[in-house]
Structure formats: structure tokens, C-alpha cells
Structure 1
Amino acid sequence: MGFMQKYVFRVGLSLFLAFCLALGGFIPTATALTSEQKLVSEVWRIVNRTYLDDTFNQQNWATVRQKVLEKPFINKEAAYTAIQSMLKSLDDPFTRFLDPEQYRSLQVNTSGELTGVGLQIALNPQTGQLEVVSPIEGSPAEKAGIRPRDRILKIEGFSTENLTLDEAAARMRGPIGSLVTLLIERDGEAQREVSIVRDRIELNPVVSQLRTSPQGTSIGYLRLTQFNANASTELAHAINSLEKKGAAAYILDLRNNPGGLLQAGVEIARLWLDSGTIVYTVNRQGIQGSFEAFGPALTNDPLVILVNQGTASASEILAGALQDNGRAKLVGETTFGKGLIQSLFELSDGSGLAVTIAKYETPQHRDINKLGIKPDKIVTQQPISRDQLATEADSQYQAAVEILAQNPLVVGSRE
């Protein structure tokens, strides 16, 4: 079983895990700053130095600092509130403050164990509503019928309208066996309450099977559910095993995969590519760098990738890299459209700060943030159960099999 990135509230954020201790400093003033003012100033400087948008949401960032520091804070909680207000002015749900408890929880959550309801969540950038990116496979949330793009209106009767991602995640966390009630809204349906019993969540990120198409082709079916620290190793083992069993073509299923570690997405792209650019990272100065494939690929067999609205972040990096390099055809629905990269900074009092430092572009310089990646063949599908994936009931899977049967040499061919 692959190593599990445990923190549900990460919502498929593609993180450079840069745990940087940013030391507090002073703003030239006539009076020495209090410890609370130093912390606010520390956060301000990190954002000032690293934030992607150098207009800071069309506002004077220095003036923001000046106004916040005009009066002393009665305690640390008041400083935390001021920091959250300062960050909220950026209108970026991914740039957020974590108090020491939340930050410790995030650190502990990398241990590979997970308890809760098993939801990957995000704030819709257009509406600001709390949305489900994807339920974790086999989780209590999935068993309760929660689907990607469901909107969570209330948690235990408490409105989510002004909650941050971390606050929403904290309200859904709890001990095994306890109950949490969510008010869910779904397009075309009435609002409904869903009661979920929290449990331990286990996730193997890779499902691997050898299939035979109606035409007799041996197809390696691979489903990747998350980009955690072991995803690349697990997928490499699966590909090598399928190669030995005689797989002549592949279907990689990234549907409802909310992402995870940026590096995992890059490493998995390298498994399929002999050469070529995988992704460009772009900061506020422009192109910051790129990740390249250096080969050899584990296989050059034809490849089709399945995507849908729950395909996000690192999944989109992988899908965009293989599509732009001509290595794979994409089948399904336009992807989620999350193309921002965050770094995580540790602050001097043990709290943390996640800052959007860059965005990514595909090898052909497509910016997919809020836009998503359009498949080569669009196939819409009504929701199906996990047991129906890659069966006759799965029209997107059947379309992928048909593409491989019709033109097996085009997909994945090299000049």
C-alpha cells in the first residue's frame, strides 16, 4: 500500500514542500514592535517577497501593513485575526494562515494515517463556495453518496459561507465512530442532509489490472487516485508488472484524482516520456523554471488517459504533459482547472503560512487555472459506482478502448 498524504483539507494542492523558517524582523519605527506585531510583519514580508500577484489584488500592500500595525494587539489571537484579514484582502483561498495547532496537524497528517470522512475539498474560485473535489475511494463520504462538485452548504448546521478550507476541514474532522452531518447541494437536485460516520481512511493510490479488449489486445488498466509520496514508485511497479504480463497498450484513469504533490506528478510523467518538457513554473517575474523528462520511458506502448471534472492539480500537470508531448490521448470531460502552486512556510511562533508562489503552464504554455484541460475526445457520463469503473457501464473507459482498437499506433508513437 502506498504512503498516504493524510491531510484531507489539502484538496489536491500541488505544494513545493518548502518548510522555511522565516525569522521575524522590524519595520523602521520609533517604537519597538511587540511580539504580535512582529508576527504580523513576518507574514507581510513573506507575502511581499513570494506572492504570485505583484499587484496584491490591485492594492498597495505596504499600506495594508501600515493599517494593520497602527494599533497594538491585545493577544496573539488578535494578531492571528489580523493576519487572516490581511490575507483575505488578496482574494486567494489558497494563500492562508494556519495557527500552531492547524500547522502541527498538517505536519502530523503526513504520517500515512487518516481519520475522518475522506473528502478532498476546495473553494470554487468563481463562487467562493465550498466544493467537493473528490471523495477518497472507499471512504465514508464516498459510501454516503458524496460526489465531485457537490457543494457543502453547512457542517453540523454551521454555514460554510465564510469558512476557510482549514476551518471547514477542522469541523469535519473527529474521532472514529463519531457522526457529522453535512448539508449538500447538487446541480438539478434539492438540498439534502447527509450523515457520515467518521472512520479510518486507507488508500492505495494505484489500482492495476490486465484487461483484454474485444479485439484481443492486452490492455494495462491503471487507476491513480492521488499523487502522494509513493505514487510514482507504486505506478512504476505496476507498469513493469503489466509489461511482463504482455500489456500492449495502456489506459491511465485520473478521474476524480484531486492531485497532491507536484513532484509526484513530474516523476510519473517521466515514467511515460523519453524526453520533453513536463511543466513550466511561472512566478511573478515570468518563467521560473521547468521540469524535463530525461528517459528512458518504462514503455512506449499506446496510452489513453481518462479525465473528468474531478481531475485536478497534479493530475492536470500529468495529463497536460502527456497530451502536449503527443504521448497520450485524453478522453472524458474538461478537468477541474487548478493551476496554482503553494509553498508552506513555518513562522517563528510555530504557526504556518501557505502562499501561492507560482502557477504552472503545460509544455505548450497553456495556463489551465480556472479553465481546465480539454480532452481530445469529449465523453460525458452520468455518475457510476466504483464497482462499475472500467466495465461496460463506463462509457468513458469504453471510448478509450475503442480509440486504442481503431488506431493503436497513433497514440504514443514517436517520430
Structure 2
Amino acid sequence: MEFMNKQVFRFVFSLFLVFGLVFGLVFGSLIPPAIALTQEQKLVFEVWRIVNRSYLDDTFNNQDWRAVRQDALRKPPANDQAAYTAIRNMLASLDDPFTRFLDPEQYRSLQVNTSGELTGVGLQIALNSQTGALEVITPIEGSPADKAGIQPHDRILKIEGFPTDNLTLDEAAARMRGPIGSVVSLVIGRESESEKEIILVRDRIELNPVIAELRLSPQRKPIGYLRLTQFNANAAMELAHAISQLETKGAAAYILDLRNNPGGLLQAGVEVAREWLDSGTVVYTVNRQGIQGSFEAFGPALTQNPLVILVNQGTASASEILAGALQDNGRAQLVGETTFGKGLIQSLFELSNGSGVAVTIAKYETPNHRDINKLGIKPDIVIPQPPISREQIGTDADQQYQAAVELLNKNFVVAGS
């Protein structure tokens, strides 16, 4: 009996050996051996992993995100530039213009821009959603571009002779930035005019985002006019200072001009909203798990005086968060045109080699749970505005501004009666 057990054991053991050899020969070729990734491949994988963990759309634009990784890593990139191309191609498959790769220079430039300091020509730019053309949202007041007469809606056709057709926003911005005193040429297209080359000398751009002025209504009531041009790190502090000064001067109402404000930092938009609210929700955030977070106002507001907000198609992102928060909380009425409709939130991740990646991690909803992405916020009073120059903003030629003044005048009359 003992002999028989040994024979059975030997037979079974032999079967395991044979099966193991066959399994290894047949299936082993299907499993690639573990190999060390190159530095370039590690960078590609680093970006893939960040998107895999954080991206808002867990279908990754209805594709197999692991297969995208395998395709990107199949052939080792020869150098950093090849790795950057592989990363950009990988991100392009998401069909999300806001999820994008930034090389080290672009990443540093974006950090500087949001910090409130910049050198360059002073243009805020965007890609036209219908034509894809690179367009001017607005020149920064007092900048080289402003002094040269560049206007909102101008198309930037070439930068230093290089066509802009296939440039991303970051690539176009990087080509226009440079050391103080250096020269850059732009070819500008404007409706009903021939193309024109403009030579600009780069300079330090002052990024105080707030323009404040006390004005009188037809009823001789003092109105505080505030124009907020972007939401950088200085925005909330500068606006609070401007409101304080206008309150001291006796402002009885306010017009907050967010036209052509492309947004910026989410936190800056939240902080500015809190300056106008005693309490209430500012914005809800929703990630891919559907988890809602919220930012709340905890008061007190810096002023209780009536407020009208001016918006248009160039009012985007953090500007829409602010406009939606104050509209839904009944704190302000909106006048102008339907806003841009960017309801997505990006987070900026620094990569191991000093480059960066901006990833759409969440969407936001207004306090009344409006999802405004690609829809925008409709004003309480819709007023179309023909193109005007910067000098005409806030004058008789500015129909939206005049409508805001008229709305406040009605409030003055009601309050007086």
C-alpha cells in the first residue's frame, strides 16, 4: 500500500511538471517580462496615473484608458520632447481642451500668471469654440498690447511669423511671453479690415485685477463702479480694499463689471463671492464619484448696498461661479449677455521633471444646482452690446452699463418712496 502511494505521488507530480512546462511555453509569451522603464516612459506613466486617479469622466471619453497607456508606453520616447508629444497625444484622446500638458517653461509661466506678476505683451486669449481661431478676449489695460490698439475679438493669425492654426493656448501664450525689452511680432486679423502686423516690446505687466471708481447716477446717487479683469491671487484682497474705499466715499450702490473676465483661481472666485454675502452657499463641486462638496459664505458682507453685475460671452469660469452665486442667493441682478459656460474645475499637478499637467477633476453647480457647462448663465436682463473700445466702457456708448445704471436708479426711486 505504501508502495502504491509513492507511485501515485510520482505520477501526479510528473503531471504538474508537464503542465507547468506547457503553461509556461504557451502563456508565458503573452505576458511581457518586467522591464525597467526609461525616464521618458516614467513621465508618460506619471501623467497617465494622475489622470487615471483624478479625471472627472470615469469612462475617459468612452475608451479603455489602460489600452491608451499601453499604446503610449509601447515605444520608448527618444527624448523629453518625444515624451511630451506622447503625453499630449494621450491627453488629446480625452477630447477635453482643459486637460492639458505643460512643459517646464509653460508650467512656470502659468504659476507666475496666477500669482499676479507677468512679463510679456499683456493679452488674455482664448480659442473660438466655433472656428478654433486664436482670439483676443481683452488686452490688459496699460500693457504693450493695449497701447498698440489691439482690441477684443481680434484674431491672432501669426506669432513671430509662425501660424497659430494648430497652437494650443499654452503654446501661443508661451510664444508671446519673454524677457522685458525683447520684441515680438503679431499678425492681427480684424473684421472688415486687412491683416496687420504689429510689433510689440515686452514689458512687465501690472496685474492689479481691480479698477474702481465712484460715479454719480442721474439722481445724483453715488455708484461704485468696479471692474474685475481676472481672478488671480490678488483679486479678493484688491477688491476688498476697493470696496472699503468706495464705502468710505459714500457709495450707495455698486456695478461689478465681469465682462471679458476669463476666470482664474477657483478659490479667488469663492473669496470674492464671500465679500458680498452674509451667508449661503457659494458653489457646489461634484467629482466623478458624485460626491458633492460646497463652499459657504460666513459673513459679514463688506456692504449691504444694491449690486448689479455686468456679464457677457467672455465671462467665464471663476467669473461664472461668482455671478451664479450672487444671482442664486438674490444678492445681485445680472445684466448683459449669456456667459461663456465653463463649469469645469481643473487641478494643476507638478511632475517629477518640473513640467505640469492640468486635469479636469470636478464640475461645479451654482447654489440652485444649475450645471452651466456649455450653457452659461443667463442674465436677469439681456442687453446685446455692439463692439466698443476700451475707452467707451462705462460711457454713454456702453449700453449694458447704462442698463445697469437705469436698474439701480429704479432701486433708488423705490427706496426713496
Task: Rate the CA distance shift 1:310–1:59 in 2: closer, same or farther, 3 A.
Answer: same
**SS of residue matched to 1:374:** coil
TM-score normalised per structure 2:
0.85
Deviation at 1:28, TM superposition (A): 8.9
CA contact (8 A) 2:334 2:380 kept: yes
**In 2, Cα distance between the equivalents of 1:286 and 1:124?**
30
Structure 2 counterparts to residues 155-174 of structure 1, below 5 A: 155-174=159-178
**1:6 alignment counterpart:** none
Deviation (angstroms), 1:73: 2.4
What is the deviation of 1:127?
Answer: 4.0
Deviation at 1:108, TM superposition (A): 4.6
> What is the alpha-carbon distance in structure 2 between the residues aligned to residue 45 and residue 409 of structure 1?
60
**Bigger radius of gyration, 1 or 2?**
2
Q: TM-score under structure 1 normalisation?
A: 0.86
CA distance in 1, matches of 2:397, 2:129: 33
Q: Is 1:291 equivalent to 2:295 in the alignment?
A: yes
What is the CA–CA distance in structure 2 between the aligned matches of 1:175 and 1:32, rounded to whole Å? 40
* Deviation (angstroms), 1:305: 0.7
2:188–2:198: 8 Å Cα contact kept in structure 1? no
Identify which of 55, 59, 67 aligns with 1:55: 59
Aligned equivalents of 2:133, 2:64: Cα separation in 1: 27
Tell me, yes or no, if the aligned pair for 1:220 and 1:250 is still in contact at 8 Å: yes
Q: Deviations 1:274-308 (Å, cap 9, x if unpaired)?
A: 11111111221224311111111111111111112
2:74 alignment partner, SS class:
coil
Q: 1:263, 1:111 → 2: CA distance?
A: 13
1:12-411 equivalence runs, <5 A: 30-109=34-113, 112-186=116-190, 188-190=191-193, 192-197=195-200, 198-408=202-412
- Opposite residue 223 of structure 1, the aligned amino acid is R
Q: What are the superposed Cα offsets for residues 135-172 of structure 1, whole Å, 9 maximum, x if unpaired?
A: 21222223333333333232233222221222111221
Alpha-carbon distance in structure 1 between the residues aligned to 2:380 and 2:414: 13
Cα root mean square deviation, aligned: 2.3
CA–CA distance in structure 2, aligned partners of residues 278 and 344 of structure 1: 22
Amino acid corresponding to residue 193 of structure 1 in structure 2: K
Check the 8 A contact 2:122/2:144 in 1, yes or no: yes
Q: Is the 8 A contact 1:116 1:199 kept in 2?
A: yes
More helix by share: 2
- d(CA) in 2 for partners of 1:113 and 1:232? 16
On the 8 A contact 1:280/1:287 being kept in 2, the answer is no
The count of corresponding residues between Structure 1 and Structure 2 is 384
Q: Distance in 1 between matches of 2:128 and 2:283?
A: 24
Deviation at 1:252, TM superposition (A): 0.9
Deviates more, 1:88-97 or 1:60-69: 88-97
> 2:113, 2:232 within 8 Å by CA — same for their partners in 1?
no
Shift in Å, 1:191: 5.1
Distance (Å, rounded) in 1 between the aligned partners of 2:146 and 2:330: 34
For residues 185 and 393 of structure 1, the distance between their equivalents in structure 2, rounded to whole angstroms, comes to 24
With over 3 angstroms needed to count, the CA separation of the structure-2 counterparts of 1:29 and 1:298, relative to structure 1, is: farther
Does the aligned pair in 2 maintain the 1:179–1:196 contact within 8 Å?
A: yes
* 1:282–1:134 CA distance, 2 compared to 1 (3 A): farther
CA gap 1:395/1:370 in 2 versus in 1, 3 angstroms? same
Going from structure 1 to structure 2, the CA distance change for 1:114 and 1:104 (only over 3 Å counts) comes to: closer
Letter in 1 for 2:195: R
- The DSSP-based 3-state class of the residue aligned with 1:64 is helix
Task: Measure, in 1, the Cα distance between the counterparts of 2:353 and 2:165.
Answer: 29
Deviations 1:177-213 (A, max 9, x none): 4443333344x53452241413222132222222221
In 2, Cα distance between equivalents of 1:402 and 1:110? 35
Measure the CA separation in 2 of the matches of 1:270 and 1:344.
24
Query: Cα offset for 1:408?
Result: 4.0
Structure 1 segments, 4+ long, off by >6 Å, are none
Q: Which moved more, 1:92-101 or 1:402-411?
A: 402-411
CA 1:324–1:213: 2 relative to 1, 3 Å: same
1:211-245 per-residue CA deviation (whole Å, 9 max, x = no partner) reads 22111222111111221212212211222222222
Amino acid aligned to 1:72? P
Identical pairs, percent: 80
Deviations 1:334-379 (A, max 9, x none): 2222222111111122221111111211112222222222111112
Bigger drift between 306-315 and 194-203 goes to 194-203
